[in-house]
Amino acid sequence: MNRKSILILFGFLLFATFTYAQKIIKGKVTDVADGTGIPGVSVLVKGTSSGTTTQPDGSYAIDVPASGTTLIFKYLGFDTQEITIGDKTVINAILSSSSQTLEGVVVTALGIKRSEKSVGYATQTVKGDNLTLTKEQNVIGSLAGKIDYGNVSQDINPEDIESVSVLKGPAASALYGIRGQYGVILITTKKGSKGTKKVNISVNSAFSIEKTANFLELQNIYGVGNNQTFLTLTGGQKYVNGNDESWGPKMDGTPVRMFYSFYPQDPEFGQLTPFVPHPDNIKDFYETGHNINNGITVTGGSENIDYRISYNNAYVNGVIPNTWLKRNNLGLSSSLKITDKLSVGANVNYANNNGQRPTQGYQGSFTGATQWFQRNIDIDRLRNYKYADGTILNWNVNPNTATGIVTNNKPSDWNNPFFDAYEVLNNDNRDRLFGDVNATYQVLPELKLSGFVRSDMFTQNITHKEPLGGRLVDSYQIGKYQNEENNYEFLGQYAKTLNDISLNFNVGANLYTVKYSQQYQATVGGLSSPGWYSAAASIDRPISTSFLRRKQVRSVYAMGSIGYKDTYFLDASIRNDVSSALPNNNNSYWYPSVSGSFVFSELVKWKALSFGKLRASYAIAGSDLSPYQTAFTYGPGSNYPATAGAINTLLVPDKLKNPNIKPSFANSFEVGMDLKFLKNRLGLELTYYNQENKDQIIDLSVSGASGFDQTVVNAGLIQNKGVELSLTGRPIQSKLFTWDATLNFARNKNKIVELYPGISVLQNDLNTYSSQTIYLNSTVGRTFGNLIGPGYKIDPGTGKVLLGADNMPLFDAAKDFGSVLPDFTGGFQNTFKIWKFDLGAMIDFQKGGQFMSWSKMLSAKSGQAAETAAINDKGFNVRDAIAAGGGVKVNGISQATGQEVTAYVDARTYYRTNLGTRIYDEWIYSASYVKLREVSLGYNFDGKVLAKTPFKTAKLSVIARNPVMIWQKAPKGVDPSELSSGSSSISWIEKGELQTVRSFGVNLNLTF
Amino acid sequence: MKTIYKSIFSCSLALLMLGSCTKFDDSINTDPNSPTKASGTQLIANAELFLPGISSSPYGVHYPQYLSNTSFSDNSRYVTVNFNFYGLYTGPLMNLENVINNANLDASEGPVANQIAVAKILKAYYFWHMTDRWGDLPYTEALKGDVNYSPKYDKQQVIYNALFTLLDEANAAFVTGAIKNDIVYGGDVAKWKKLGNTIHALMALRLSKVDATKGATEFNKAVTNGMMTANTDNLTYPHLADQNNENYWYNSFTRLGRNWFAVSKPVVDYMQPLNDPRLPVYANKPTNTAITTYVGLDYGLPGSTTVTIANYSLLGSNLRLQNSPVPLVTYAQQLFAMAEAAKIGWIAGGDVTALANYNNAVTESIRQWTGSTTGAATYLAQANVAYDPATALMKIGTQRWVHLFLHGYEGWAEWRRTGFPTFLAPPPANNGALIPRREAYGTQERSINATNYNAAVASLPYGGADDLNARVWWDKP
């Protein structure tokens, strides 16, 4: 901001304040609980019309007429306090929350605390203490395969979190512009407090164990093979091969040569072993994981300074052998009051993550075992994966039938899982530094100017070692990823109360810069010396890439609000963004919001109603796109080292960029009502919204015959309408027993109104396997995200399945399986206080939303699924010969004759070639579920017990995460509740990467 | 840092007052990760990288039954129906289109006329391959980027005519002067010119069932313009001993360790009794040393059969080295075409010319595959091989099938056109499936180019559905 604009701003404000130069009483209103200032407290002079509200830091200044004798401090959720003025000129008030506390302060955009009643949109705030209920160590999720590299939330020490605010809808987050289009999650970190000379130390220790659970139901009758006849070696011994399917002979104890008997190094070389099932051979691969977390926090302060130092250390051992994660967090926050008006502060957080994780992807680790494996393998026999001479023991290889020895020891699809775990190593290390430096100048009691520089930077190294002896060429991959994001912010806040009118005015500017770079190298063609993991070891020309992304967004914004009699509130904001990623001639865009609320409980004198508010908002949120999408470029092709000289090919990329891209806008309208009854013991929040995204910037899939298969365009009109309901209550309240409950419910209706001229389908995603493709398509006139893929061909007359000449179901390549979006979702959170115990339970639920279980499909295709060895209605196993009463019973219409047919068909052909390959009807399920996500039980030691100890407070809790799936529509073994926790925005397919993990832990919190 | 503050200060006022400080340094939105310039020959080279895929396909190789599956026999039993063609448009064809329409080609990489002519020949070659697989396809409205994201399908006849024209243009345009960055011919444009005309003749012959008049005209045009004269003119993709540029079958057998492909019984059973000198190249003897002959694997066995791999002839080791070359358009195939053209009267000379070309074709085929003509004369002298005017088309067709070994899509096209060899039977016990006569369109077209897709399917030249059994235009029943 240059000098001229500061002067203009000052001129306006000075004018406003000179008129009120009278006798003033100053002070600060703080919360007894944590000593922090409370903003928005009504400060009234009893018996007069004078009044004001406190500033964001809790301070106030009020003009007191000669007749004034008493100040009244009134704030929702706190007990009202009256203080006699006497001859004091400074009056500080300390408010304590009233017994029926319901959070009255919300942290809104830009961290501005506001009274709940004054905001015209829905917000939800969860206090840090309550977060223990949900603060699952992110690292656990990471080890289960859900890696979200670079997500900052992974680097925040949960102990540092003061509160998490969820700002819903564009009006709430309008000031965040692009980044807030879909709502904002605002994490407020804890601070020390000034004025308290004593030092507080608290320590936190937690320990938990993780266990895998919820495995698919598999059959234990038939072992590996393509048919039920044992194979024989030339010498006459029966043997089983390295196939990864279980369509073979009955596991009836017949002595056979197993995989290890083909290795001359093996003690059982040449020997026969009974062919029997190993029902737990998948489950027994996994280990019990554990998680140790220790932290210490020191807070304190004096007259002019406050500080908070925290350190946290976490160590996680994953359920997959030889995987772990270590994390260290160090946090320092401090603020210094230089003068009464000027204060500066800094928050610095350092996080280091160091991990060894399972290989991602389909064939990466043992997560594919329910899909392709042998029911007859003893997992313990794979544990010692390497013989003394270095030979790797593999199950997915075949012996030479003449010699009974493995000569080609390269597995065709699957490594020994223990070789994967102990030799194929993925390591990553991330150092992250984030925080801010800020300065605040309280120019006048009503006017505060602040400046922030916020930075977030990380450097991450990821390596992958692929050793000799597995299915792949030995290789080494190394990547270095660096990101630096900076926000330079200015914020001016003006607040003033004139009699019944409260005014707030904020103006701000922000410069956002991001610079991301990566360097990646991978060897090709093998390593020139075995075990030499270096890019320099590449036998052929290595892959070597560099990538740089830079972007800037310049923003200015202003927000004003006016309140009247604490009853009527009106907000308006406007923001301008200028994005470097948009075409130079069209890179600036404005968007406004307006919202209002009416606290009708101030007017309605109905005793039962403690609070009642109507709110409405309308907002437009603008957005841009990621950089480098507005000009055509070529792409790098592979290198052909011809004898006459290397040929470096270049190519026309498959995605067409667009020089005419425009910023896009989402328009949203929202109305709602917040009600609280019976001294806040019962609350209801209801919101209805209607959002329209027009000309969104999307990557549109187009016919590849155009020469491109994607293009970036402004396209479409997508409508989202919905309701959100939150019901809170305290059904029981007594000295020994209190029950608090919150029920959240959300329902969204979505419609694609328009798309792009000539194209009525937006192809969001696809998955191809066995040459069959399933699409996630959004079609004009319908809802977002329908699954289209191969399925039963239906006879239009009867609605029955059409059968071919062999009585196998015919398939239709493009069947519609419905939308992946749920009908509704919700959560039910309960907290019970029983004597000194706190008992918490969180239940999640969802109705509808289709998803595909690829695990389930392939477990059937490979002959492992229980149903592939079921008993048919004649009492015979479906795998028995049809002539002998076996076979799967099918019913349908013969395509050739049009007649209804009931027949028995070969189980392998039915499940492997047909259902497991191209009848997706059988593998697409509704995601409906009710799940107990978490239960916790805490005990607070009381003062009497602690009096003899150095501790001020002590709390012990036990927590079970993910203990029970209460009900689900999909079959056992797939967990629909874990689907949406992946990194992509819509998860609709499960490939075995989400093995359910249950966690049980103990937590101890102590303060000194 | 300094510049950042400068920009904050200089912009703040303007932003606050006018909301318009919209100038950024030009470099910030310029993609530093991708080149803004590509030479014509670099794009042509990239299009050439896709050439081996025309032959090395685990689908195409099964239609004329060159290989059988030892494990996972689904492909040989036609489980896959829909084939996505996008990769050929967005890959090689879009690169070539960019060269053909580029007004600023760099003459320092070889005469611009030659760069464009080579691009046109490759474009014709790719489209020819594609229309023979799928039939009607987007052509006139294709490859136009944002001008048309929903191109209509053109009739195969329209595409053939357009490709003849394209090849004529290329033939007429060549001037002296090599081009750079040429993977297949080292920039020798004389070879490119011959290739264009050989492709022209082979395409013309495809019309034998449906439009012999047009076929004969185009064939003669190609002959006049000058075709290949030796195996050294062949279009053969040279793979390298380099993982980035290795042979597909090497990757499958050696890199992935999968002995999944054996030479099929029809191939071995035809070649072995004739002591065909090419068989030791096409096939290995079984690793089970108790077996001394070549043993072809039954074609299209059900997946429930477990094959003892040691007892069968896997694909010949020399055809699956890391740098095994992939023959695509060959002199011998041209000679078979000449023999057939003479026999059906498209060119002069009748049986005399047919015989000469036939003998030449077999000899050159043996030279191509074995490196010498040793044994060719003996081979040709056998009654089952020797040219016979009464069975000439059968002999030509069957020998051509032998010659085109491993080039599944081409062998399949000639089988569809001629019906030779006659001894290919559909896989047993496979729901009555017939040997495919076409590949179905990729399923993406049904949703993102629905109108044009539906129109194309509604007007398949000989009816039927979008599946493996409908016929393309030149495959007249």
pLDDT per position as a tens digit, A924-961:
999 999 999 889 898 988 778 888 888 888 889 898 98
Q: How far is CA A251 from the centre of its chain?
A: 43
B428: confidence class by pLDDT, cuts 50, 70, 90: confident
Alpha-helical runs (H) found in A810-950: 854-861, 907-908, 916-918, 943-946
Phi, then psi, of A234 in degrees rounded to 5: -55, -35
pLDDT per position as a tens digit, A620-629:
888 888 999 9
pLDDT per position as a tens digit, B169-218:
999 999 999 999 999 999 999 999 999 999 999 999 999 999 999 999 99
- Strand A305-317 to A289-301 pairing: antiparallel
pLDDT at residue A107, rounded to an integer? 59
Is residue B400 classed as helix, strand or coil in its secondary structure?
helix
Chain A (507-546) residues lying within 8 Å, Cβ to Cβ, of chain B: 507, 509, 511, 513, 524-526, 539-541, 546
- Identify all chain B residues contacting A808, using CB atoms and an 8 Å cutoff: 431
Is the pLDDT score of B360 beyond 80? yes
pLDDT at residue A13, rounded to an integer? 28
Question: What does pTM read for this prediction?
Answer: 0.88
For residue A159, the 8-state DSSP code is G
Is the pLDDT score of A364 beyond 90? no
Which comes out higher in pLDDT, residue A41 or A524? Answer: A524
- Name residue A203's amino acid: V
For residue A395, the 8-state DSSP code is S
**Buried (b) or exposed (e) across A199-218, using 16+ Cβ within 10 A?**
ebbbbbebebebebbbbbeb
Chain A (347-406) residues lying within 8 Å, Cβ to Cβ, of chain B: 397-398, 400-402
A781 touches chain B (CB under 8 A): no
Partner residue opposite A703 with nearest CB, options B288, B302, B448:
B448
- Name residue A306's amino acid: D
Query: In whole angstroms, what is the distance from residue A366 CA to residue A382 CA?
Result: 12
Hunting for tokens 């689907």 — which residue is that?
A979
A711: confidence class by pLDDT, cuts 50, 70, 90: very high
Average pLDDT for A32-39 = 68
Contacts within 8 Å (CB) and 24+ apart, A535-540: A535/A476, A535/A478, A537/A476, A539/B243, A540/B242, A540/B243, A540/B244
pLDDT at residue A193, rounded to an integer? 67
Do A197 and A139 form a contact (C-beta atoms < 8 A)?
no
Query: In whole angstroms, what is the distance from residue B411 CA to residue B420 CA?
Result: 10
Please confirm whether the linkage preceding A663 is cis (ω < 30° from 0).
no
Is the pLDDT score of B3 beyond 50? no
- Indicate yes or no: CB of B446 within 8 angstroms of CB of A814: yes
A992: confidence class by pLDDT, cuts 50, 70, 90: confident
Percent of chain B past pLDDT 70, that is, above it, reads 96
Average pLDDT for A688-709 = 92
pLDDT per position as a tens digit, A291-312:
998 999 998 888 889 899 999 9
Determine the distance in angstroms separating the CA of B325 from the nearest CA of chain A, rounded to an integer: 14
A643 touches chain B (CB under 8 A): no
Partner residue opposite A576 with nearest CB, options B15, B24, B151:
B15
Q: How many residues does chain A have?
A: 1008
Determine the distance in angstroms separating the CA of B308 from the nearest CA of chain A, rounded to an integer: 8
- Identify all chain A residues contacting B87, using CB atoms and an 8 Å cutoff: 704
- Least Cα distance to B446 among B159, B157, B150, B155 occurs for B150
Nearby residues of B458 by Cβ (< 8 Å), 6 or more positions away: none
Determine the distance in angstroms separating the CA of A597 from the nearest CA of chain B, rounded to an integer: 28
- Indicate yes or no: CB of B8 within 8 angstroms of CB of A647: no
pLDDT at residue A126, rounded to an integer? 56
DSSP secondary structure letters along A57-71: TSEEEEE--TT--EE
A984: confidence class by pLDDT, cuts 50, 70, 90: very low
Chain B (429-468) residues lying within 8 Å, Cβ to Cβ, of chain A: 429, 431-432, 440, 442-452
Mean pLDDT of chain A: 85
What are the DSSP E strand ranges found in A150-304?
A: 161-167, 184-189, 200-212, 231-232, 238-239, 255-256, 273-274, 289-301
Average pLDDT for B266-291 = 96
pLDDT per position as a tens digit, B30-84:
999 999 999 999 999 999 999 999 999 999 999 999 999 998 899 999 989 999 9
Which comes out higher in pLDDT, residue A961 or B377? Answer: B377
- Least Cα distance to B200 among B224, B164, B175 occurs for B164
Token pair belonging to B261: 């492909």
Query: In whole angstroms, what is the distance from residue A995 CA to residue A368 CA?
Result: 10
Element (H, E) at B196: helix B189-206
Is the pLDDT score of A217 beyond 60? yes
B72 touches chain A (CB under 8 A): no
Partner residue opposite B49 with nearest CB, options A401, A649, A658:
A649
Radius of gyration of chain B (CA): 25
pLDDT at residue A344, rounded to an integer? 95
- Indicate yes or no: CB of A5 within 8 angstroms of CB of B16: yes
Is residue A835 classed as helix, strand or coil in its secondary structure?
coil
